[in-house]
Structure 1
Amino acid sequence: MFADVRKIAGLAWPVLIGQLAIIAFGVIDTAMVGRYSAVDLAALGLGSSIYISVYIGLTGILTALQPITAQLYGARRYAEIGEEVRQALWLALALTVIGFLILYFPGRVLQLARVPEALHERTVAYLQILAFGLPAGLTFRVYSSITNAVGKPRLVMILQIGALLLKVPLNTWFIFGGFGMPALGGPGCALASTTINWGLAVVGMLLLTRVDVFKPFAIFAHFCWPVWRRQAAQLRLGIPMGLSYLIEVTSYTFMALFIARFGTTTLAGHQIAGNIGAVLYMTPLAIGIASSTLVAQALGAHRPEAARTLSRHGIMMAVAIAFCYGAIVLVLRPYVIEGYTPNAQVAAAAMPLVLIVVCYHLFDALQITTAFVLRAYKVAVVPTVIYAVALWGVGLGGGYLLGFNVTGFTPEWLTGARGFWVANTVSLAIAGIGLLLYWRGVSKRYLRAEAVVRVDSAA
């Protein structure tokens, strides 16, 4: 077990640092805009929820490149990797068109949220600026997928740390103004992020042509048009993966949209709790990505026993660390919230939500790690169904019933934002257990299939 944990940790820590650098974008945005104005903070929370839903849904499709590449890498079929990357870049171009239109024209989504007029203009400006950074974000996801698949996450981490170092000065300039730049408030965060995303995309593509580990793939050795057979293979895996990402994220996004009806203060408190949950989420996410890489490589090398063991140890590792994180947050939550906002009313709104985050995170760790392991097996359809039933049905549906006291029997402590967070926690528990049981069946089928192949080979 300890040998597997060391392997997973060796890949996970660069992913974790890189992901923390990126999630720090949101933390920095929240902290800095919170000191600009409460209205801009609420608009940031709403706008970022919409953007993340679009971005994660689209990049989730491109993430199919990671298990495909990892299995090819384990099988040493290097020439095919280059072709898969070229096809993924064409796919990213097509997805850019879809995402840009949604972000640049967000009126229908904002109508659903019944956004107050004070927030509408700031939220639209924020999303329209981010729309121009979406092509770069999708391109960089192709780079990070292939880099993680071949076990070189440090090449992503270095770029993400560099991006973080640029974020604070650019945010300061664009949010508060200076040197000829007017104070943009919340939309200034979007302008800083868009600028940085384009830098990441350009450098990432250059590294694919220069770094030795990528040279056997000959990614840019020649031009190619889209090949439907390979596009279809990526989409068969990528669409359910993207849908599962979208379901997971929209379960949070629609929480924000519904919670917006309770007022600016409640929405700002929800944004703080969401940021804390997102920071904690980065560790099981990193473990899931690392475990998925090792499992996919083992499957590509026809070692299903090793793949199953690595899967189990990765899941156990993520849940154990999540338990420790929860204990720390439980003790330190007043000080953590104080670091986000000096507003006493917003802090009071955030306090009970952060308490719920302690339990929420434990089940979040279970479900995300197990989901990544299943993706290494190129299994995505059934997990997507599990997500839909649990997160949309129980999480959003139950949250709506509790939060708005639809039945009239909801206790006072379960109404409002608290009802949404409690229902979402229950939904993550259902999703995590369901995915775990499904993984056990999938891994056993792989073991049986490999045993049959060995018997046939011996005969």
Structure 2
Amino acid sequence: MFADVRKIAALAWPVLIGQLAIIAFGVIDTAMVGRYSAIDLAALGLGSSIYISVYIGLTGILTALQPIAAQLYGARRYAEIGEEVRQSLWLALALTVIGFLILFFPGPVLHLARVPDALHERTVAYLRILAFGLPAGLAFRVYSSITNAVGQPRLVMILQIGALLLKFPLNTWFIFGGFGVPALGGPGCALASTAINWGLAVLGMVLLTRVDVFRPFAIFAHFCWPVWRRQTAQLRLGIPMGLSYLIEVTSYTFMALFIARFGTTTLAGHQIAGNIGAVLYMTPLSIGIASSTLVAQALGAHRPEAARTLSRHGIMMAVAIACCYGAIVLVLRPYIIEGYTPNAQVVAAALPLVLIVVCYHLFDALQITTAFVLRAYKVAVVPTVIYAVALWGVGLGGGYLLGFNVSGVTPEWLTGARGFWVANTASLAIAGFGLLAYWRVVSKRYLRAEVVGVVDSAA
């Protein structure tokens, strides 16, 4: 077990540092905009929820490259990896068009949220700036997927740390103004993120041509048009993966949209709780990505028993660390919240939500790690169904019933934002245990298939 944990940790820690650098973008945005104005903070919470839904849904499709390339890498079929990367870049271009239109024209989504006039203009400005950074974000996801697939996450981490070092000064400049630039408030942090995304994308493409580990793939050795067979294979895996990402994120996004109806203070408290949950989420996400890489490589090398053992140890590792994180947040909760805002009303709104985050994170760790392991097996359809039933049905539907006290008998402590968070926690528990049960079925199926293959080969 400890050998597997060391292997997973060796890949997970660079992913974790890189992901924390990126999630720190959100923390910095929230803290700095919160000191600019409460209106801009609420608009940031709403706008970032919409952007993340679009971005995660589209990049989830591109993430299909990782298990595909990792299995090819385990099988030493290097030339095919280069072809898959080229096809993924074409796919990113097509997805850019879809995402840009949604972000640049967000009116229908904001209408659904019944956004107050005070928030509408700031939210639209924020999203339209981010729309121009979306192509770069998708291109960088292709780079990070291939880099993780071949077990080189440090090449992503270095760029993400560099991006973080630029984020604070650019935010300060654009949010509060200076050197001829007017104070932009919330949209200023979107401008900083867009500039940084383009820098990351350009550097990522350059590294694909310069770093030795990528040379056998000959990614840019020649030009190619989209190949329908390979595009179909990526979409067959990527669409369910993107949908599962989208379901997971929109369950949170629509929480924000509905919670916006309770007022600016409640929404700001929700934004802080969500930000803390997102920071905690980075560790099981990193473990899931690392486990997925090792499992996919083992499957590509026709070692299903090793893949199953790695999967189990990765899941156990993520859950154990989540328990430790929960205990820390429970003890330090008041101090963590005060680090986000000096506003006493926002602190009071956030305190009970962060308490729920402790349980929320445990089940979040279980579900995300198991989901990534299943993706290494190139399994995505059934997990997407599990996500839809749990997160949309129980989480969002149950949250609406509790939060707005539709039945009229909901206890006071379960109404408002607390009702949404409690229902979402229950939905993650259902998703986590459902995915775990399905992984056991899939992994055993691979073991039986390998045994049959060995017997047939011997015969």
Q: Please confirm whether the aligned pair reaches a TM-score higher than 0.5, indicating the same fold.
A: yes
CA-to-aligned-CA distance 1:233-256 (integer Å, 9 cap, x gap)? 000000000000000000000000
Tell me how far 1:82 sits from its aligned partner: 0.2
Structure 2 Cα separation of the partners of residues 79 and 417 of structure 1: 51
The Cα of 1:329 is off from its aligned counterpart by 0.0
Residue 90 of structure 1, CA deviation = 0.2
Q: Distance in 2 between matches of 1:442 and 1:122?
A: 47
SS of aligned partner of 1:222: coil
Structure 1 residue 362: Cα displacement: 0.1
Residue 269 of structure 1 deviates from its aligned partner by 0.1
Determine the structure 1 residue equivalent to 2:60: 60
Cα distance, 1:457 vs structure 2: 1.0
CA distance in 1, matches of 2:426, 2:35: 34
**Cα shift at 1:387:** 0.0
Q: Secondary structure at the match of 1:367?
A: helix
Question: What's 1:437 paired with?
Answer: 437
Question: What's the offset of the Cα at 1:309?
Answer: 0.1
- Deviation at 1:458? 1.1
Shift of residue 78, structure 1, vs aligned partner: 0.1
TM-score relative to the length of structure 2: 1.00
Quote the Cα distance in structure 2 between the aligned partners of 1:333 and 1:179. Answer: 38
Are 1:302 and 2:275 an aligned pair? no
Find the aligned partners of 1:161 and 1:96 in 2 and give their Cα distance. 25
The SS at the match of 1:84 is helix
| SS state at 1:378 partner | coil
Cα deviation, 1:410-438, whole Å, max 9, x if unaligned, reads: 00000000000000000000000000000
Residue deviations 1:285-306 (CA, integer Å, cap 9, x gap): 0000000000000000000000
Count how many residue pairs are aligned between Structure 1 and Structure 2.
Answer: 459
Report the alpha carbon displacement of residue 340 of structure 1 after superposing the two structures with TM. Answer: 0.1
* Structure 2 residue matching 1:151: 3-state secondary structure: coil
Give structure 1 regions of 4+ aligned residues with deviation exceeding 3 angstroms. Answer: none
Q: After superposition, give the CA deviation of every residue in 1:140-194 in whole Å (9 maximum; x if it has no partner).
A: 0000000000000000000000000000000000000000000000000100000
1:308-334 deviation digits (Å, cap 9, x = unpaired): 000000000000000000000000000
Counterpart CA distance in 1 for 2:351 and 2:111 is 29
| Separation in 2, partners of 1:345, 1:180 | 35
The C-alpha deviation readout for 1:70-102, integer Å capped at 9, x for no partner, is 000000000000000000000000000000000
2:407 partner SS: coil
1-structure distance, mates of 2:226, 2:454: 37
Q: What are the within-5 Å matches in structure 2 for residues 302-451 of structure 1? A: 302-451=302-451
Deviations 1:184-213 (A, max 9, x none): 000001000000000000000000000000
SS in 2 for 1:408: coil
Structure 2: distance between partners of 1:249 and 1:75: 34
Q: Secondary structure at the match of 2:379?
A: coil
Q: Which residue of 2 aligns with 1:266?
A: 266
Q: 1:14: Cα distance to partner? A: 0.1
Structure 2: state its 5+ residue gaps.
none
**Helix, strand or coil: the match of 1:3?**
helix
Post-superposition CA distance 1:376-417 (Å, at most 9, x none): 000000000000000000000000000000000100000000
1:104-154 CA-partner distances (Å, limit 9, x unpaired): 000000000000000000000000000000000000000000000000000
**Which TM-score applies when normalising by structure 1?**
1.00
2:211 paired residue number: 211
Does the residue aligned with 1:181 lie in a helix, a strand or coil? coil
How far did 1:220 drift?
0.2
Whole-angstrom distance in 1 between the partners of 2:347 and 2:274: 13
The alignment partner of 2:339 has SS state of helix
Q: Give the whole-Å Cα distance in 1 for the aligned partners of 2:456 and 2:416.
A: 61
* DSSP 3-state at the match of 2:342: coil
| 1:175 corresponding residue in structure 2 | 175
Query: What CA distance in whole angstroms lies between the structure 2 residues aligned with 1:237 and 1:132?
Result: 27
Q: CA deviation at 1:69?
A: 0.1
Secondary structure (helix, strand or coil) at the match of 1:280 reads helix
Distance in structure 2 (CA, Å) of the matches to 1:342 and 1:116: 24
Q: For residues 115 and 184 of structure 1, what CA distance do their matches in structure 2 show?
A: 20
Aligned residue number for residue 277 of structure 1: 277
- What are the superposed Cα offsets for residues 30-76 of structure 1, whole Å, 9 maximum, x if unpaired? 00000000000000000000000000000000000000000000000
Partner deviation per Cα, 1:221-243 (whole Å, 9 max, x = no partner): 00000000000000000000000
Deviations 1:6-33 (A, max 9, x none): 0000000000000000000000000000
Q: Distance in 2 between matches of 1:284 and 1:390?
A: 20
Distance 1:354 1:259 in 2: 15
- Provide the rounded CA distance (Å) in 1 between the counterparts of 2:453 and 2:244: 32
> In structure 2, the residue corresponding to 1:333 is in which secondary structure?
helix
* Alpha-carbon distance between aligned partners in 2 of 1:100 and 1:243, rounded to the nearest angstrom: 18
1:7-18 superposed matches below 5 A: 7-18=7-18
User: Aligned partners of 1:271 and 1:27: how far apart in 2?
Assistant: 10
Deviation (angstroms), 1:439 = 0.1
Q: Aligned equivalents of 1:292 and 1:262: distance in 2? A: 40
Give how far 1:364 is off: 0.1
